[in-house]
Amino acid sequence: MKELRYLDEVSTLVLDREKCVGCGLCTEVCPQAVFEMRGNKAEIVDFNACMECGACVNNCPSEAISVSPGVG
Ligand code: SF4
Ligand code: SF4
């Protein structure tokens, strides 16, 4: 799926690393490999690959991620 690209710089994806508890679920559920774990926290490593599917938001236990599909 990594090869699928969408418009650059329009995703509404926001990650609050302060809230991240390091569970790693976002790295597992994201179909676009947007996140990686770094220093026990998630980090956005491929922002423009995000297609705003909401899977990370729905699985994050600490509400550290938000996305507003349809805004971009
Ligand atoms: S909204 Fe979907 S594509 Fe974007 S980072 Fe979350 S899981 Fe990945
Ligand atoms: S799902 Fe949420 S708490 Fe878990 S690693 Fe990702 S951002 Fe952090």
Complete domains list, the chain, with CATH? 14-66 (3.30.70.20)
pLDDT at 2: 58
Q: Is 44 in the pocket of ligand 2 (CB under 6 A)?
A: no
What are the CB-based long-range contacts (under 8 Å, 24+) for 54-60? 55/29, 55/30, 55/31, 56/25, 56/26, 56/29, 56/30, 58/29, 59/25, 59/26, 59/28, 59/29, 60/20, 60/23, 60/25, 60/26
Atom of ligand 1 nearest to the CA of 29: 7
Query: Is pLDDT at 21 greater than 60 in this prediction?
Result: yes
pTM: 0.88
Over residues 62-70, the mean pLDDT reads: 92
39 alpha carbon, closest ligand: 2
Query: Is pLDDT at 71 greater than 90 in this prediction?
Result: no
